[in-house]
């Protein structure tokens, strides 16, 4: 999947239409509370501006249903981007309407226009041909730097580049880096190759577990999905979060995974979902009635840390317990610290794992923190990404 990047095309005097992921969190007064996603796009943006290109940025924010909703406007994002760049940044109040066309037509080299939220237009979700054509006609070059939506076939991800026949279609540096780690490193890992999978549901990770069991040396299971495996082994799970309808599936995974599939040996439980509840540590599968598993136990945390420290490639997706609530963050902390201390290639899936590694202060001690939760999972499943496949090969 070696795709041409924005660095491989001459952008001087050209208009570049770049799909970015500016889906940032806003507070009640519509102030940005975390601008990391904007900062992650800056290298690709700066590359175009520094080389005399004109830049049109498009993104979604939130989940508006094909019509304008003021609380999901990209206006605050355009303002923040203007503060970060030594360049003129304009904001278009629509996506393919009169204001967008006028602002794009007026663009000069080294300037930026941020279009309004693409999801304010019903054509974004449906991939409407007229909508895609209107966007495609704005630019000479298409660039996809929105990894978080690469697993989707939304209009701006798929229909727009499809409509730009004969024009360069490339990836930005962020998407290029994600592909490098989540696809290429995993295709040819240095061994031992260890995956750590947590989170609530087996059903969310079933395809990932199956795919990684085929390529990893060990797959370590944590989080609430471990209790469905406990149930499949005939263990007692108390009030723990389980998926009874996935017990047969868990049995099949244990059978096909054999020694590769590593399950917790002890569990940290509480009699209420709070940090101040009554707590006990029990052997896995021995959770009393009235108690629920909220984290892997200390023996499991130590065993997992040992495995992780000796690995040459580590992929982590999903916390080991309720990492937002001490003391049930201990398992996740132990795994995160072991990953940070290891000397192998370490890849952190998006979502909760990325949040945990940031919160614990280890983000700068791992090789790669993915920017896309759903997209990183889809790539770990080995799914094809149509929005990336149609871009130009190197």
Q: Which residues are catalytic?
A: 37, 201, 351, 374
User: Nearest 5 degrees, angle CA 270-CA 222-CA 233?
Assistant: 85
Residue 205 near residue 250 (C-beta atoms within 8 A): no
Instruction: Give Cα 267 to chain centroid, integer Å.
Output: 28
Q: For residues 38 and 25, what is the distance between their CA atoms, to the nearest angstrom?
A: 11
From 246, 220, 213, select the one nearest 232 (Cα to Cα): 246
Q: Is the N-terminal amide bond of 192 cis, ω within 30° of 0?
A: yes
Q: How many residues are present in the chain?
A: 394
Contact indicator for 338, 141 with CB cutoff of 8 Å: no
Assigned token pair, 372: 């896309």
Tell me how far the alpha carbon of residue 114 is from its chain's centroid: 23
Structure tokens at 300: 């499991």
């Amino acid at each position: 999947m070696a795709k041409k990047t924005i660095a491989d095309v001459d952008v001087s005097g050209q208009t570049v239409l770049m799909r970015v992921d500016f889906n940032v969190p806003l507070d009640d007064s519509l102030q940005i509370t975390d601008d990391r996603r904007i900062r992650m796009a800056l290298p690709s943006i700066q590359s175009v501006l520094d080389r005399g290109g004109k830049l049109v940025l498009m993104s979604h924010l939130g989940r508006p249903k094909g019509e304008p909703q003021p609380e999901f406007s990209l206006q605050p994002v355009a303002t923040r981007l203007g503060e970060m760049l030594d360049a003129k940044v304009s904001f278009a109040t629509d996506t393919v309407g009169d204001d967008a066309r006028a602002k794009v037509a007026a663009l000069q080299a080294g300037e930026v226009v941020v279009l309004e939220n693409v999801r304010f237009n019903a054509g974004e979700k449906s991939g409407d041909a007229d909508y895609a054509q209107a966007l495609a006609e704005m630019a000479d070059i298409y660039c996809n730097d929105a990894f978080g939506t690469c697993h989707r076939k939304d209009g701006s991800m798929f229909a727009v580049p499809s409509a730009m026949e004969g024009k360069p279609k490339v990836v930005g540096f962020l998407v290029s880096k994600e592909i490098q780690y989540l696809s290429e490193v995993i295709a040819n890992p240095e061994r031992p190759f260890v995956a750590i999978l947590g989170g609530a549901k087996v059903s969310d990770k079933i395809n990932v577990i199956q795919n990684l069991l085929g390529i990893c040396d060990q797959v370590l299971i944590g989080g609430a999905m471990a209790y469905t495996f406990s149930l499949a082994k005939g263990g007692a799970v108390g009030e723990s979060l389980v998926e009874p309808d996935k017990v047969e599936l868990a049995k099949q995974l244990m059978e096909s995974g054999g020694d590769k599939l590593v399950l917790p040996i002890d569990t940290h439980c509480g009699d209420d979902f709070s940090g101040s509840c009554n707590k006990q540590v029990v052997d896995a599968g021995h959770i009393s009635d009235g108690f629920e598993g909220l984290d892997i136990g200390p023996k499991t945390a130590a065993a997992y840390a040992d495995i992780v420290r000796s690995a040459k490639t580590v992929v982590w997706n999903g916390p080991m317990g309720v990492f937002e609530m001490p003391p049930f963050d201990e398992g996740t902390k132990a795994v995160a610290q072991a990953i940070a201390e290891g000397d192998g290639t370490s890849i952190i899936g998006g979502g909760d794992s990325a949040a945990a590694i940031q919160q614990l202060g280890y983000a700068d001690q791992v090789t790669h923190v993915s920017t896309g939760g759903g997209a990183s999972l889809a790539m770990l499943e080995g799914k094809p990404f149509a929005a990336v496949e149609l871009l130009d090969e190197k």
